[in-house]
Structure 1
Amino acid sequence: MEAFIQNHQFNYIKQQVQSVVHGHSTANDKGVLAAVKSMALERSTQLFNDINDEQRQLLEPIGSIVHKEEGDQFLSTLKPYVIPFQKVSAQTLKKLFPKVKKLKTPSLDDVDWKSISYLGWNDSGSEKKFLVVDDLEKGKLVGLQGTYKPLPNQKGICVICNHFEEVGLFVAHVKGSAQGMFTRKGNYICQNTEACNERITSLDKLHDFVNRVQQKE
């Protein structure tokens, strides 16, 4: 069976697993537990528009999970079927950011490509943050760069993962509709890109952020 689960979908299923485990630890009513398990399976299968019988069978064990260890084991059986983010090389990154003369790229060998919905890293020396996103509509990778200033000793809502975490202000300078004119666009996003990717359960907000930053005025 080919991989069919995207990272954000895997994260969503993980949430459903946690819901089932939590239900067993807090509820004694069998009817309530049955409803929680049924809902977890339904929500998980509804992530996929054209799910086949083999894929459905892979997800069905979520209904028999009781303990955290069983949940972890179930998730480990799903991991081989996660579609990895498109692997990039240092040369590809340089092409995505051609105006950055001394681009400091992350250690790509350490990236778990199955656990990210976007590639991102901080360059504290230049106070910048870089993002690489797979633009599904255009069928290509998109590179975003902007100044990045973390909020000291303060948390906020990340516009990408929609969680209350340690964030910073990402601001990109975008070409305006008039020649020679630039506008500043940005918002608050997570400082820790790896943790942000672990919390993404939908790509909508990520794509909204990219489109908003790129849109000319």
Structure 2
Amino acid sequence: MIHVKETSDKQGTAGERPEAFIRNDQFNFIKDQAKILVNGKATSSDAEVLSVLRHLAQEKVFGLFPSLTEEQKAVLKPLTAVKETAEAEAFLEQVSAYLLPFKSVTDQGLKKLFPKAKKLKGPKLDTLDFKKLSYLGWIESSTLMYLVIEKDGRLEGIQGSFNRSAKHGICSICNKHSEVGLFTAKTKGSSQDNFVKRGNYICQDNDTCNSNIDTLERLHDFVERLQK
């Protein structure tokens, strides 16, 4: 397993390095590519094979971003030099300094996102590392789950019921195998008094899910299906 050390939020003087430009899901994707390179080196001594792996890793990582400055490319290029776990950890520690935090939200802001939840407690926001979030999720009253996503620069709230499963399964959000539960939300049907329930299985632990997400596409697809 590759571990990433916490980095300081202190900024250097202007011009020393590019501003933060990497989302949590993109960082997780980069982490997976670093792991692939470490595993490749451990299982193969074929120089050509390893060269292809390095080329593909860089191509995939650069492809995450619509446009990269030379300074940003310089942050990501050391990935191709990764061979051992220690090198991967050092690289990821450097890259983590450029993580973009999830959109800021307050307790009052959460109440506005869920106006029908009169007794909303919300998570302890001051304990969260927003740089490690692709979405905000928490459970209240045992079976009520709240999800907050960022889309097109604004926050959206989704409320539903959550029933834990005794089995492991594939999460619809992160697409990884984990302890899951059924998240179900009600949406208005064809008539005013008609409601439709839609849902799917997602991680029981939102922290685990956020650490696994390597694309926002599945998250947004999941929410869109709930809202149809």
TM-score range, shorter chain: over 0.9
Matches within 5 A, 1:31-110: 31-110=48-127
Question: What amino acid is the match of 2:146?
Answer: F
What is the alpha-carbon root mean square deviation over aligned residues?
1.1
Deviation track 1:145-166 (CA, whole Å, cap 9, x = no partner) reads 11100101x0111110111211
Q: Is 1:203 the counterpart of 2:216 in the alignment? A: yes
Secondary structure in structure 2 of the residue aligned to 1:66: coil
Separation in 2, partners of 1:170, 1:24: 40
Residue 20 of structure 2 is matched in structure 1 by 3
Identity of aligned residues (%): 45
Match for 2:151 among 118, 123, 135? 135
Structure 2 unpaired stretches of 5+: 1-17
Separation in 2, partners of 1:207, 1:38: 30
Secondary structure in structure 2 of the residue aligned to 1:77: helix
- 1:113: Cα distance to partner? 0.6
Residue 175 of structure 2 is matched in structure 1 by 162
Specify whether residues 195 and 126 from structure 1 end up closer, same or farther in structure 2 by C-alpha distance, changes over 3 A only: closer
- 1:28: Cα distance to partner? 1.1
Question: What amino acid is the match of 2:33?
Answer: Q
Structure 1 unpaired stretches of 5+: none
Match for 2:44 among 24, 27, 34? 27
Deviation track 1:118-175 (CA, whole Å, cap 9, x = no partner) reads 000112x241111000122xx32110111100101x0111110111211101111112
Deviation track 1:14-59 (CA, whole Å, cap 9, x = no partner) reads 0000011111111111111111112111111111111121111111
Deviation track 1:46-82 (CA, whole Å, cap 9, x = no partner) reads 1111112111111111111121111111111111211
Q: Is 1:187 the counterpart of 2:204 in the alignment? A: no
Deviation track 1:168-206 (CA, whole Å, cap 9, x = no partner) reads 011111122311221111111110101101111111111
Separation in 2, partners of 1:65, 1:185: 43
Secondary structure in structure 1 of the residue aligned to 2:31: helix
Match for 1:149 among 163, 177, 198? 163
Separation in 2, partners of 1:46, 1:127: 39
Secondary structure in structure 2 of the residue aligned to 1:170: strand
Separation in 1, partners of 2:189, 2:142: 24
Separation in 1, partners of 2:197, 2:55: 47
Moved more, 47-56 or 13-22: 47-56
Separation in 2, partners of 1:49, 1:127: 40
Separation in 2, partners of 1:18, 1:32: 16
Separation in 1, partners of 2:68, 2:207: 29
Secondary structure in structure 1 of the residue aligned to 2:94: helix
